[in-house]
Amino acid sequence: MNTNHAMGVNPAAVPVRKLRTGALIPAIGLGTFGSDHVAPGVVATAVYNAIRLGYRHIDCASVYGNEKEIGASLQRLFREGVVKREELWITSKLWNDMHGKAIDSCRRSLDDLQLETLDLYLIHWPFPNYHPPGCDVTSRHPDAKPYIHEDYMKTWRQMEELADRGWVRHIGTSNMTIPKLELLLRDARIPPAANEMELHPHFQQPELFDYVVSHDILPIGYSPLGSPGRPERDRTPEDTVDMEDRVIVEIARKHNIHPAHVCLKWAVQRGQVPIPFSVKENNYMSNLRCVTEDPLTEEEMATIAGIDRNCRLIKGQVFLWKEGQSWEELWDLNGEITPP
C-alpha cells in the first residue's frame, strides 16, 4: 500500500449518501482522531493534502485537540482556490464535559475551524463525564455520571437551537443505543440526521444498523478497518483483527487489493459512511480510490456478513460511573437503559 506516490481522485467519482433533508454527504470521509499518537501538525497536513487530492468529507471533534490546526489548513485551501467551502462536508462533535453547553462548544469549534457553519454536529457520547488524557481501560473518573434522558434532552434542545441559528446544517448522535435513540426520537423536535458508531466486519451491529436506517438516520462508521492504530488504553486480550480474517484476506487476494480496502468497499456498499484515519498519503488516497473502483460481488458481501464476531473494540470503559460495573452496561445490552 506504500509503494507508489498517491494520485488524486475526482471528487465526482466518490459515492454519496442522501440525508433526510436531501443533503448529500460523501460516502467516505477522512477521520482526524490521532492527536494523542501523532506529532502536532501531522493531522492538519494530512487534511490539507487529502482535500487537495480529492477528499471532500472531514470528520473532526473538539476532543481530538487539532481543530485549530485543521482550520488553518482549510483556510489555506480556500485562499489557494483549491476548494470552496460549500464543496466540503465538515463534521464536529460536542465532548462530554460540554453537555448542557452546546452553544459554547459549537462556537469554539467554529472559531477553531474558522468556519461560519458546520455541516454536521454530533453529541460525541451520551455520557456527561470527562476522562483525563491517558487513562486506561481500568480507570474511573470520580465525576463520572450515567446517561439521564432528561439531562441529555437539555443538551439536545441546545443542538436544535444551533440548527435554528444556522450554525449547523444537521445535528446528530454518536455512540448511542436503540433504547436511547427511541427516547430521543420520541422527544426530539429535530430528529438526528446521523448516528456515528463503531462499524467494521467483526462488529457489524446489525440490529442497531437496521434500526437507524429504518428511522432515516445515516450510519457513519468509525474504526472501519478494525482500528489498528487505536490507543493502548482501548486494547483488550479478546480483541480480534479484521484485516487478518481469512475471509477478508482471501477476497483481497482475488481483487489484488489490500485487506483494508475490502473493509472499506464492504462498508460503502452496505450503506454506511466509513471515516478511516490515516496520515500517510498513499494510504488515505488509496482508501478513497478503492471505493470508486471494482465493487465487491453480492456473494462476497454475503460472505463478509457471516464473519461478524460482535467484537466491540471501543468499549468505553473510561465512562463507567461506579466500581464493579462492566463495559457492557454502557451499551444497554439487555434492551433497556442501565439505571444510574
Kindly list the structural domains of the chain, giving each domain's residue range(s) and its CATH number in brackets, ordered by start.
11-331 (3.20.20.100)
CB 44 within 8 A of CB 19: no
Residues labelled as active-site residues? 64
Q: Averaged over 121-146, what is the pLDDT?
A: 74
Q: Do residues 205 and 181 touch, judged by C-beta distance below 8 A?
A: no
| Percent of the chain clearing pLDDT 90 (strictly above) | 81
**Cβ atoms of residues 137 and 314 within 8 Å:** no
Alpha helices in the chain (DSSP H): 42-52, 67-80, 102-113, 149-165, 178-187, 206-214, 246-255, 259-270, 281-290, 298-305
First to last CA, the chain: 47
- Cell numbers representing residue 285 in the block: 488516497
User: Which three three-digit cell numbers place residue 124?
Assistant: 460525541
Rounded to whole angstroms, the Cα distance separating 267 from 89 reads 19
pLDDT category at 304 given cuts 50, 70, 90 is very high
Q: What number is the average pLDDT over the span 59-71?
A: 96
Candidate from 3-12, 30-39, 81-90, 101-110 with smallest mean pLDDT: 3-12
Average pLDDT, rounded, for the chain: 93
CB 90, CB 100: distance < 8 Å:
no
Q: What angle do CA 234, 239, 241 make, to 5 degrees?
A: 110
Rounded Cα distance, 179 and 189, in Å: 18
pLDDT tens for 140-193 read 666 788 999 999 999 999 999 999 999 999 999 999 999 999 999 999 999 999
**In whole angstroms, what is the distance from residue 41 CA to residue 292 CA?**
29
Residue 299 has pLDDT above 50, yes or no: yes
Q: Give pLDDT, residue 190.
A: 98
Residue 316: pLDDT band (50, 70, 90) is: confident
pLDDT band of 340, cuts 50, 70, 90: confident
> Binning pLDDT at 50, 70 and 90, where does residue 235 land?
confident
What is the C-alpha separation between 62 and 170, in angstroms, rounded? 17
Question: What are the CA-CA distances from residue 287 to residues 35, 53, 278, 297 (Å)?
Answer: 20, 12, 9, 19
Task: Tell me what the mean pLDDT of segment 292-306 comes to.
Answer: 98
Q: Kindly state the percentage of the chain with pLDDT values over 70.
A: 94
- pLDDT value of residue 28: 98
Among 51-55, 79-83, 171-175, 336-340, the least confident range: 336-340
Averaged pLDDT, 56-70: 96
Supply the pLDDT for residue 4. Answer: 41
Q: Give φ, ψ of 99 to 5 degrees.
A: -55, 135
Instruction: Supply the pLDDT for residue 6.
Output: 60
Q: Which of 4-18, 51-65, 160-174, 286-300 has the lowest mean pLDDT?
A: 4-18
Mean pLDDT is highest, among 121-135, 217-231, 255-269, for: 255-269
How far is 85 from 89, CA to CA, in rounded Å? 8
What is the predicted pLDDT for the residue at 54? 98
What pLDDT score does 253 carry? Answer: 98
Residue 123's closest CA among 141, 105, 140, 137?
Answer: 105
Chain centroid offset of residue 212 CA:
15
